[in-house]
Amino acid sequence: MHGLSCEGGVVAFLLPILGFLSGLGLASLSGTASLKSIFSSLLARCFIPAVIIYNMVFYQTGSLALMLFSFSVAVLMFYLFRWLLKDSLRALCVSYLNLAWLGFPFALALFGPEISAAMVALYVGGSIFGNMWAVTAVSSAQLPWSSVIQKVAMSPPVFALMIAGVCRIVGLQHLEEHQILDWLYQAAKVGMSFTGMCVLGMWLRQTKVQWRDLINSSRIYAMKLTVGAVICSLSYAFLPIPQIEKYIGVMFMLFCLPPAANIVALETHYQGTGTSARYIASGTIMSCIVVSFYGLILHLFSL
């Protein structure tokens, strides 16, 4: 069993690297530009909803608390950094995180597949925040709350939660034999990790970042990590999150993640500008560095 566990850990570590290198290679080939949107759609509309449905049907204690934690932290970070930076767009880039393309692959690589349920809960909370705050932050016109709520309800992660709720109502969680569902779940996790990192590799290959962008991002990350250490310490001491000692590592990882890539699409649509592109690119590069150091620290403490 120990051998199988080690083998699974090696696969979880190597798969994101393979996906990232594949993305870098594909980006240099002609006629592969459409793969980025195809992989992104597969990730957002297929793999992640499948992982959410499985984990919510076979529910693990603490998921709701982690959803609320992720959502609350995003709201707090948005208003804190909007006050510090005097810029709603930059505040959004700090608080609306890339939990899909990078969050899942990073979590699987650092903590292994057993952290999937916790990551799903954190992703859902962050996604609800993103769908509620992102458009209002980049839009000059105030949107009615009815439109915001409708957008949230029809977003893939929330739609997946609805499907999971129906599955629980019909009693799917009581199945004694569900090997096919287990196989589909494992396949979705592999697809999620590979496609997420592949899209990242394709995207970074085509993005130019200047040194001043990296310096500015490093300052932002220094503030984020400091705030994250305070929030996670207080949460560990005072919040009644079940099994928090098991999840605190991935909770802190939230503060290591880069901005969500679709911020620039929303900015372009509502403001006609693409300023956030350099924030996202530099933030992604710094995030890869921060997560690498975080993984090294976790490895050293586990020895």
pTM: 0.79
- The pLDDT of residue 5 is 39
Given pLDDT bands bounded at 50, 70 and 90, which one contains residue 2?
very low
Most confident of 10-19, 185-194, 216-225, 267-276: 216-225
Can you tell me the distance from the alpha carbon of 163 to that of 55, in angstroms, rounded to the nearest whole number?
12
pLDDT, the chain, mean: 83
Given pLDDT bands bounded at 50, 70 and 90, which one contains residue 133?
confident
- The pLDDT of residue 4 is 36
Can you tell me the distance from the alpha carbon of 120 to that of 80, in angstroms, rounded to the nearest whole number?
25
Can you tell me the distance from the alpha carbon of 120 to that of 293, in angstroms, rounded to the nearest whole number?
23
Helix 63-85 × helix 116-138 angle, to 10°: 40
DSSP state of 115: G
- The pLDDT of residue 143 is 64
Given pLDDT bands bounded at 50, 70 and 90, which one contains residue 52?
confident
Q: Give the distance from CA 136 to its chain's centroid.
A: 20
Residues 33-48 have pLDDT tens digits of: 778 778 877 877 888 8
List the alpha helices (DSSP H) in 43-142: 48-57, 63-85, 88-95, 104-111, 116-138
Can you tell me the distance from the alpha carbon of 56 to that of 121, in angstroms, rounded to the nearest whole number?
9
- Whether 77 and 96 have beta carbons less than 8 Å apart is answered as no
Residue 173: pLDDT above 70? yes
Scored b (16 or more CB within 10 A) or e, 260-283 reads bbbbbebbeebeeeeebbbbbbbb
Residues 218-255 have pLDDT tens digits of: 999 999 999 999 999 999 999 988 889 999 999 999 99
- Whether 200 and 257 have beta carbons less than 8 Å apart is answered as no
